[in-house]
Structure 1
């Protein structure tokens, strides 16, 4: 019984060993070149993010816009340094892969495999970046402040979510005949408000502690919470590919139950978390414990057909109520500085702005859609200030203008929509244009509308 296998397999093994050795060597070389491709991609991503961010910071614009524009420049719209297979690109379209072909022993036959794997690694790092970003946003949010500001902020936030979402979705479906799911996704992107951008401008003009400033910040916090729930529901609809009222209700209830349940359970868990961290003796105990908690909630959200970002955002909200909040915020910044730019640059790199070129007749509809989204995005937030009733002394226009900027939160919507495949190239580019424009116009407008009452008061006193 032992002779037959020996006689049969020995010649086969002798003939196969050189092939196996060659295959192993090829795999090893490909792995090394994949790592080289990833490293090159990260060099380009970090360079584009810092250059763009520094330029924007010097002209008093949010650095995140510079990261987005840097991504557009190195991506499919301009330089083709960072392109992705899901956008229809191949190894021959990537200048990074072409650089690898010229500077290494990468063969044209293996180039496509290296390109696909390298792109997948960068996409995973980008997804990790948005998870960490939402964890950071959750840490910066203050539920107690939201409760203190009270129903006024709640009304502003709810109107600021419902009005642009309903108007944007209905307009895209009935006027532009965009399919339902992409329309809902675009409408959802209109709901976002960037706390960071508005808070920065309010602090610069010394209005952060004013009644208007408190309402704006409180409403923006609630806007983020409602917006992330909307995003989780819409992204789940994309996975199922169909819209049924019962399923939508189930998703909304699931997202709300997950958010509220996680916060309530987290409050019970947080003393144990603090005690556990205090007893640890190794380096990085708070940061790693916080990330473990964030990743666990992200995993739970993902497996129950919601989005991982809802889990990480909820984890941030829970830990923001502990005594470790400030320390954890400081420790998460370097981690966010490593991963978050990858997300924003990738969003820009995947955006094909050529679909908005007016010289091409077929692109003009996309431009009209972009203009429509921009108008709805601005008006849908401006009206929110006028929903605060019974306080004539309030600068209601300033409240509405303070809700306009979409910033990093709007980019999260665009990035998730692009990754899900729900958006066409023109709709995706239109959303990006909406985010860029609202983020650009909001800071100067906010300064203008806050100056008017001050000038009026000075004139009255004279």
Structure 2
């Protein structure tokens, strides 16, 4: 019986990936590099090893891997996070991306590369690796330091910039020139569909998930989530964008729903499988001989990445008003390239506009910078101290004054508040109205003419349907009152502001009339008919203004409810939002000498102390009567905001002290255990199970069906199917539960 090549190749790929990743896990290196190495080994470049034969099918699987990888990144992205990152992260990211685009292009041209290779090199170097940075921060225990918050904000902005780069590079690759008009059209087109998809997705998808919640088990939720992802992929391709963009957008929409964590958990296995195939296919495209032949360009690209990102990110952070120390630490954290760089390089190969050597050079530079990132982060404070010693005192004083002065620029005037609200109102409703007009003229009218009635009747019916859909948004665009308090202040307190306010209102009304005229133009051949219809529609808008307001308010309420549903859900802090971190008790802290019972850290902050390390002694899951002493190292479990609050009472000293000694021998981890009928703890309460005493472990959360219990009481009785979130030694936990 003949086995299809695809199955044989898939078995070979997964076997090679499994072996290499086990090795890389053992030596504590990124699994992505293991996948790439596996791809090199099963490629046609190694004759003495079995190799993949059906490369076309594997490439298709790799494309599916890109889709699910971007879908997963979207689930972690969230547009609301982008709004909250603030000006500092946005300025830093923009300065870095622009700087690295120029550096990459210049480096390519200096090495004699073609223009398109140089352009794509700039795109490859401009985006840092979220996966590598998060992993390094967790290993080094710096997740709660000031610069880490800035870095996370920059990564969120970079995700969106990377999507924009995919669109722009596709445009450049197709046109083979820097046509300003085409670039502008591409940007406007991307912005239009981003707004439209986000608004439509937030309004429809959470409502759909809520309505079908009782029907959703894990299997159906996984199927529905992947179906939504692929539907958005089809829509993105239909309007001329890449499949990766559609997957990312749907992920970011689902990230705003109450089911986001569950979907992310369910999709993870599928994403890991296809992402592994994608990265293996990346390795298959690498010819080891090319790496040898282009060793000098690899070194140049690597140095350009590290030095360029360090300088550009630090400069961007300084310009945004961050202190020198935070800026330097952020710059050294962002000095690498990763997942999006591979995708951009793949785009160049797919469109056949880049040379064969660019891809392996990008992968090699990514591998090298992956290794250097933890060391750069670890040495960032030492490098800052070095800069303080060598820089002129005038420069340091100037940076300090600039940083201090920008901290106070937080208030918004009434004009800024009003103009910002008007801008959002105009953009959002204009996008919706334009979408309705094109939908009506290109789909609704032809459908009615073909299936219902023909001639002028189909046009009139289409026009009425279109106007009914548009009417609430036309009212919001042209008539709705926005920011009434700020508007009243400007109107009553400063008479010279009334002219601009009246001009704004006239502009809003004129814009609404323009859109109505645009709708008429799409349906009528003569301007006379269009003018008559325009007058009738304006009259209808005025007569039914109150009903339109009531209907629009219902739509807006539903949208806001869906948008904020995830933040408003109870409990607000989920077990899997928690993680481990290390803090040191400062000698100046008020907690010194007090017992854990008197401090009530768990009760006040929701944070559990998993381990105390005092000199050479370790105290796992300390009791209530244990006291805290100066320089005690605490291993804490909690959410970001909880740990940040506890940090303020434990670490008092202003200078951040790098902790060289961690807990390598304790193997304290946060893990999930499912209770079954044969479990030793089945039917027992937490107190009677003796988990704390036997395994020196701490139960921090329990899931029972759809209920989630954080910090359960000692009387809680375990039952079949309970999911226990527990922190402790992995081996001891397995022996007890």
The alignment's TM-score, normalised by the length of structure 2, stands at: 0.49
SS of 1:306 mapped into structure 2: coil
Task: Map 1:364-443 to 2 at 5 A.
Answer: 366-383=294-311, 384-389=313-318, 390-392=321-323, 394-443=325-374
Task: Map 1:249-398 to 2 at 5 A.
Answer: 249-281=184-216, 284-357=219-292, 363=293, 366-383=294-311, 384-389=313-318, 390-392=321-323, 394-398=325-329
| CA contact 1:72–1:348 (8 Å) conserved in 2 | yes
Distance in 2 between the 1:458 and 1:444 partners? 16
Over 3 Å counting, the alpha-carbon distance change for 1:248 and 1:277 in structure 2 is same
Deviation string 1:412-462 (CA, Å, 9 cap, x unpaired) is: 222333333222122222112111111221122212225777997669xxx
| CA contact 1:146–1:153 (8 Å) conserved in 2 | no
- Counterpart in the other structure of 1:126: 62
- Counterpart in the other structure of 1:217: 152
1:154 counterpart = 2:90: yes
1:445 counterpart = 2:376: yes
| CA contact 2:345–2:358 (8 Å) conserved in 1 | no
Distance in 1 between the 2:36 and 2:373 partners? 17
1:206 counterpart = 2:141: yes
SS of 1:395 mapped into structure 2: helix
Distance in 2 between the 1:415 and 1:44 partners? 23
Over 3 Å counting, the alpha-carbon distance change for 1:171 and 1:458 in structure 2 is closer
1:68 counterpart = 2:3: no
Q: Which has the larger radius of gyration?
A: 2
| CA contact 2:44–2:52 (8 Å) conserved in 1 | no
Deviation string 1:245-296 (CA, Å, 9 cap, x unpaired) is: 2222222222233233322322222322322441435662222222222112
- Counterpart in the other structure of 2:535: none
Query: Structure 1 residue 141: deviation in Å?
Result: 1.8
Query: Structure 1 residue 176: deviation in Å?
Result: 2.9
- Counterpart in the other structure of 2:20: 52
SS of 1:425 mapped into structure 2: coil
Deviation string 1:331-363 (CA, Å, 9 cap, x unpaired) is: 001111221111000011011131232xxxxx4
Distance in 1 between the 2:80 and 2:216 partners? 32
Task: Map 1:137-216 to 2 at 5 A.
Answer: 137-173=73-109, 175-216=110-151
Over 3 Å counting, the alpha-carbon distance change for 1:178 and 1:317 in structure 2 is same
SS of 1:388 mapped into structure 2: helix
| CA contact 1:398–1:449 (8 Å) conserved in 2 | yes
| CA contact 1:382–1:403 (8 Å) conserved in 2 | yes
Distance in 2 between the 1:305 and 1:81 partners? 41
Distance in 1 between the 2:123 and 2:213 partners? 41
Query: Structure 1 residue 214: deviation in Å?
Result: 0.8
Over 3 Å counting, the alpha-carbon distance change for 1:217 and 1:268 in structure 2 is same
From the two aligned structures, give the one with the greater helix fraction.
Answer: 1
- Counterpart in the other structure of 1:39: 7
Larger deviation, residues 386-395 vs 46-55:
386-395
Over 3 Å counting, the alpha-carbon distance change for 1:281 and 1:195 in structure 2 is closer
Larger deviation, residues 220-229 vs 373-382:
373-382
- Counterpart in the other structure of 1:91: none
* Aligned residue pair count: 387
Gaps of 5+ in 1: 1-31, 83-94, 98-117, 358-362
Deviation string 1:68-104 (CA, Å, 9 cap, x unpaired) is: 121122224434868xxxxxxxxxxxx455xxxxxxx
Gaps of 5+ in 2: 386-652, 659-737
Over 3 Å counting, the alpha-carbon distance change for 1:286 and 1:268 in structure 2 is same
Distance in 2 between the 1:60 and 1:127 partners? 28
Distance in 1 between the 2:194 and 2:262 partners? 24
| CA contact 1:81–1:96 (8 Å) conserved in 2 | no
The higher-RCO structure (CA 8 Å, 6+ apart) is: 1
| CA contact 1:48–1:345 (8 Å) conserved in 2 | no
Task: Map 1:49-128 to 2 at 5 A.
Answer: 49-79=17-47, 95=51, 97=53, 118-128=54-64
Distance in 2 between the 1:451 and 1:426 partners? 37
From the two aligned structures, give the one with the greater strand fraction.
Answer: 2
Deviation string 1:153-197 (CA, Å, 9 cap, x unpaired) is: 111111221111122113323x23322222212211111211122
